[in-house]
Structure 1
Amino acid sequence: MAMYSVFVFMSLGYLAKKMRLLGDRQGNILLGFLLNFALPSAIFTGVYHSSVSLELLGLFALALVCNLAAGALAFVFVLKVLRLCFATALTIAFLVSLHNTLFLGVPIVQGALGEQAAHKAIVLDQFCTGLPLAILTPLLLSLSSGAKFRLRAVGVRLFANPLFLSMLCGFGLKAMPFSIPELLFAPILSLAACATPVALFAIGVQLRFDFLRLQWRRVGVVLGFGMVLTPMLYLGFLYVFGIGVQEDHQMVLLEVAMPPLISAVAVIARAGLDSRLAISCIVAGVPLAAFSTPFWLYISHL
């Protein structure tokens, strides 16, 4: 049922673009509402209402390690085995390391595991996607252009990001010795409820299928490392350390099996790298998630 809703909202966005119901101006307004109001509200309420333990933070750290390890392995494979150029290897490594844990991952987790798991998935997104994106973006831009990498750019990007600031506000208020009356959350929850349909609609607006047939081999490499190897690494760690798979472990598993991050397209284009490959990976990865999600859930029960 969750995947049905995902595809309905994305299809509406795609049809709106094809039928020219949305122009650039309307699209920018939609994106601005999503990034500055709906998603920050979802993150704030998700952080405030979630119970984040040290064990869960450890799982987030493990997910981040698996993401970056898969990205590093993809970089070496593309450069040394496939013998493609440095720019292509950099593009593929960036796409493998960052997953669509918020726009696509949270709705899927909510449909598969429930609302409490979705709240935790929102927190995971900031640790495993938002924070790495803020660090890797200046690094990618410096590697692609030869400019110097500056930590100040990372800090500026983080503290200018409404999503990151909403997470800090959520944790800050959660640490207070008093509780916020639920009545005050009513408008925030209304905005947060818009986040999932608007985000999926925005994905549909950005879908383009014309590049996919030209890039399918490289797309296979990205999705193979990002959507197959990464969750296998995660499950491998759990197996080696004898950790039984519970709901939190399943939530993290579904998130690390998500396709590449939508925002990665803009970063890759800004760096002058292969944005067509990034678009193709997203186009192929989103429907693939419909089949991989029940597969990984089944594997986690074995």
Structure 2
Amino acid sequence: MNNFILIFVFLLLGVVLQQIKQIPRKSYKVLNWIVIYICLPSLALYYIPKIKWNNQLLFPIGVSWIGFIISYFFFTYLGKKRGWSKKLTGCLIICSGLGNTSFLGFPIIQALYGEEGMKTAILVDQPGSFVVLSTLAVLVATVHSKGNLNSLQIAKKIAFFPPFVTFCIACLMNIFQFEFYDYGQLLFKSVGSLVTPLALLSVGFQLRFEKRSKHWGFLGLGLLYKLIITPAIIFFLYVIVFNQHSKAIQVAVVESAMAPMITACILSSTYGLKPRLSSMMIGFGIPLSFITLIFWVILTHFI
């Protein structure tokens, strides 16, 4: 419950800060920079070395990978067919392709499925959502934020992107079973915990309630994919095609139905991929997801 309260408190605080004339209009860019270049790498160095890999993890881990890859093909196809700009297409791919599987997902899964469900939720989030964000989402953001970049330029931008660099370091730490001492882990965990409040402040600062906004149609399409189409795909694949029936699959489906990932939308905004739409995906997606989640929770009880 505390997480839900914090979401609306920081969003509202960001909206209030908009009204203070002494605060520069571009202040959210500083918050975005801190989230992407400091907090996100800290989370990678804290969590990824702790992941224990085995074949049984593929279903929960696959949730985010499947959702993002299909998002890429879905919005790329629509973008070409309807003549969208690269920035709009990239924004929808990233913001609709990743869900809020931790800050929103963890308390919901804890309440519904207890500690057993949390084991699956962590797998959906860390080697799933977090790794996709650090790799595929960064790649999409890089390609869609600029004009025509060649392969070498794209590779260079990704290779020197701090979250990707720390992701690679964290993977090596996992392989060699190395972790920082306790004080180092405490530092990374503490810094990483700032992701959500800072990101929500940034979102609230950019959020606009404009009746005639050109983004409403794209917002509806993005949320339709994230809140309805993604969990429907996961349910169909896992339950109907692979015939899986367990609590872990229930958790996987519910996690796939979470609102757009806050950090993914901040990444999109940082790269200049329709910042206003990126903020709307969170500002409207979170409260709307509380309604759509009820349907998916009820449906999973029949698994």
TM-score using structure 2 length: 0.76
What is the rounded CA distance, in whole Å, between the counterparts of 2:161 and 2:18 in structure 1?
Answer: 27
**Structure 2: unaligned runs, 5 residues or longer:** 111-117
Q: 2:104 aligns to what SS in structure 1?
A: helix
Q: 2:244 aligns to what SS in structure 1?
A: coil
Partner AA of 2:220 in structure 1: G
Instruction: Describe the superposition over 1:139-169 as per-residue Cα deviations: whole angstroms up to 9, x where unpaired.
Output: 4357xx5x3x533233223222222222222
Identity %: 16
Query: Which residue of structure 1 aligns with residue 207 of structure 2?
Result: 207
Structure 1 pair 128–33 and aligned structure 2 pair: CA distance change class (3 A): closer
- Summarize the alignment of residues 166-245 of structure 1 with structure 2, pairs less than 5 Å apart: 166-177=166-177, 180-210=180-210, 213-239=213-239, 240-245=241-246
Q: Structure 1 stretch 155-164 or stretch 242-251: which is displaced more?
A: 242-251
Q: Does the CA contact (< 8 Å) of 2:238 and 2:244 recur in 1?
A: yes
Q: Does the CA contact (< 8 Å) of 1:227 and 1:258 recur in 2?
A: yes
Query: Which residue of structure 2 aligns with residue 54 of structure 1?
Result: 55
Q: Does the CA contact (< 8 Å) of 1:52 and 1:120 recur in 2?
A: no
What is the rounded CA distance, in whole Å, between the counterparts of 1:64 and 1:119 in structure 2?
Answer: 12
Q: Does the CA contact (< 8 Å) of 1:95 and 1:222 recur in 2?
A: yes
The structural deviation recorded for 1:7 is: 1.6
Q: 1:107 aligns to what SS in structure 2?
A: coil
What is the rounded CA distance, in whole Å, between the counterparts of 1:174 and 1:122 in structure 2?
Answer: 13
The structural deviation recorded for 1:93 is: 7.0
1:14 aligns with 2:11: no
The structural deviation recorded for 1:21 is: 6.4
1:108 aligns with 2:104: yes
Q: Does the CA contact (< 8 Å) of 1:74 and 1:225 recur in 2?
A: no
The structural deviation recorded for 1:248 is: 7.0
Q: Does the CA contact (< 8 Å) of 1:254 and 1:296 recur in 2?
A: no
Query: Which residue of structure 2 aligns with residue 131 of structure 1?
Result: 135
What is the rounded CA distance, in whole Å, between the counterparts of 2:249 and 2:180 in structure 1?
Answer: 26
Partner AA of 2:92 in structure 1: L
Q: Does the CA contact (< 8 Å) of 1:121 and 1:252 recur in 2?
A: no
Query: Which residue of structure 2 aligns with residue 95 of structure 1?
Result: 92
What is the rounded CA distance, in whole Å, between the counterparts of 1:135 and 1:268 in structure 2?
Answer: 14
Instruction: Describe the superposition over 1:259-285 as per-residue Cα deviations: whole angstroms up to 9, x where unpaired.
Output: 37423245464xxxx665555444432
Structure 1 pair 133–153 and aligned structure 2 pair: CA distance change class (3 A): farther
What is the rounded CA distance, in whole Å, between the counterparts of 1:93 and 1:180 in structure 2?
Answer: 36
- Summarize the alignment of residues 3-82 of structure 1 with structure 2, pairs less than 5 Å apart: 3-20=4-21, 22-24=23-25, 26-57=27-58, 59-61=60-62, 63-74=64-75, 76=77
Q: Does the CA contact (< 8 Å) of 1:9 and 1:204 recur in 2?
A: yes
Partner AA of 1:192 in structure 2: G
Q: Does the CA contact (< 8 Å) of 1:67 and 1:96 recur in 2?
A: yes
- For this pair of structures, how many residues does the alignment match? 289
Q: Structure 1 stretch 281-290 or stretch 197-206: which is displaced more?
A: 281-290
Q: 1:106 aligns to what SS in structure 2?
A: coil
What is the rounded CA distance, in whole Å, between the counterparts of 1:181 and 1:276 in structure 2?
Answer: 41
Partner AA of 1:241 in structure 2: F
**Structure 1: unaligned runs, 5 residues or longer:** none
Q: Does the CA contact (< 8 Å) of 2:49 and 2:178 recur in 1?
A: no
Partner AA of 2:134 in structure 1: G
Q: Does the CA contact (< 8 Å) of 1:134 and 1:157 recur in 2?
A: no
Q: Structure 1 stretch 247-256 or stretch 284-293: which is displaced more?
A: 247-256
What is the rounded CA distance, in whole Å, between the counterparts of 1:150 and 1:160 in structure 2?
Answer: 16
Q: Does the CA contact (< 8 Å) of 1:68 and 1:97 recur in 2?
A: no
What is the rounded CA distance, in whole Å, between the counterparts of 2:145 and 2:93 in structure 1?
Answer: 17
Q: Structure 1 stretch 113-122 or stretch 2-11: which is displaced more?
A: 113-122
Instruction: Describe the superposition over 1:221-252 as per-residue Cα deviations: whole angstroms up to 9, x where unpaired.
Output: 22212321111111110011112243476257
Partner AA of 2:165 in structure 1: L
What is the rounded CA distance, in whole Å, between the counterparts of 1:12 and 1:181 in structure 2?
Answer: 36
1:158 aligns with 2:158: yes
The structural deviation recorded for 1:90 is: 7.8
